[in-house]
């Protein structure tokens, strides 16, 4: 006995949906009921995927987050780490569920290139933990010979793309109440 094609397709789609639902725990940050960080003493650690470019990586440090700082803390954490110079501006995307995102946009040195570098971040909020991941996006127009006689234009372009591949992770974990 052959099943009509429409019933066969419906059965396949239903099986696929059931299998997908069985494999997920429903913990997508955007779909969860919004969680808020709990005020307290947090340990902040920063790491990067490519260690030789990690000039800001430091040992974990404690920071006290008060109740009045809870809503802005995720953005302030990213902005504190990534505002590289004067003239940078921040773009805070409205929170969706437990997901926070934004970017820090900094102008390049106009003597070298025209454009901006942007640090784009996204993170997940939990009551006792915040993890932000981000990377640099370099939007510049390099003039020919910008690398000088030592670095070809192709090498400079390759280096810029490599910098964009570096992933930075800022993690804050609640330790206790503030002292």
Q: Which helix (H) or strand (E) holds 12?
A: helix 5-23
Burial profile 30-45: b = 16 or more Cβ within 10 angstroms, e = fewer: eeeeeeebebbebebe
Structure tokens that stand for 28 in this block:
């997508």
The pTM (predicted TM-score) of the whole model is 0.70
Reported in sequence order, the residue ranges of the chain that DSSP labels E, i.e. its strands, are 40-48, 61-65, 89-96, 99-107, 114-126, 129-141, 167-176
Q: According to the model, what pLDDT value does residue 58 have?
A: 62
Q: Between vectors from CA 78 to CA 165 and to CA 125, what angle results, nearest 5°?
A: 100
Q: According to the model, what pLDDT value does residue 27 have?
A: 47
State the Cα–Cα distance between residues 162 and 84, nearest whole angstrom: 19
Report which DSSP code applies to 38. Answer: P
pLDDT along the chain (179 residues), means of 10: 35 33 43 82 88 58 91 90 80 92 87 83 94 88 78 83 86 94
- DSSP per-residue string spanning 116-156: EEEEEEEEEEETTEEEEEEEEEEEEEPPTTTTTTTS-HHHH
126: β partners: 129
**63 CB burial (10 A radius; 0-12, 13-18, 19+):** middle
Contact of 102 with 90, CB cutoff 8 Å: yes
Q: According to the model, what pLDDT value does residue 92 have?
A: 93
Q: According to the model, what pLDDT value does residue 84 have?
A: 65
Q: According to the model, what pLDDT value does residue 3 have?
A: 33
């Amino acid at each position: 006995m052959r099943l009509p094609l429409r019933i066969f397709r419906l059965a396949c789609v239903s099986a696929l949906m059931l299998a997908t639902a069985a494999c997920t725990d429903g913990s997508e940050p955007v779909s969860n009921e919004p969680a808020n960080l709990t005020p307290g003493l947090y340990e902040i650690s920063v790491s990067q995927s490519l260690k030789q470019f990690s000039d800001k990586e430091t040992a974990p440090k404690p920071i006290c987050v008060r109740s009045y700082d809870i809503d802005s803390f995720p953005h302030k954490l990213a902005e504190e780490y990534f505002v590289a110079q004067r003239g940078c501006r921040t773009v805070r995307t409205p929170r969706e569920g437990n997901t926070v995102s934004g970017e820090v946009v900094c102008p390049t040195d106009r003597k070298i290139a025209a454009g901006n570098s942007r640090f784009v971040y996204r993170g997940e909020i939990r009551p006792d933990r915040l993890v932000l991941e981000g990377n640099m996006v370099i939007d510049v127009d390099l003039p020919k010979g910008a690398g000088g006689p030592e670095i070809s234009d192709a090498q400079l372009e390759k280096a810029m793309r490599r910098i964009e591949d570096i992933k930075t992770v800022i993690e804050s974990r609640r330790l206790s109440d503030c002292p």
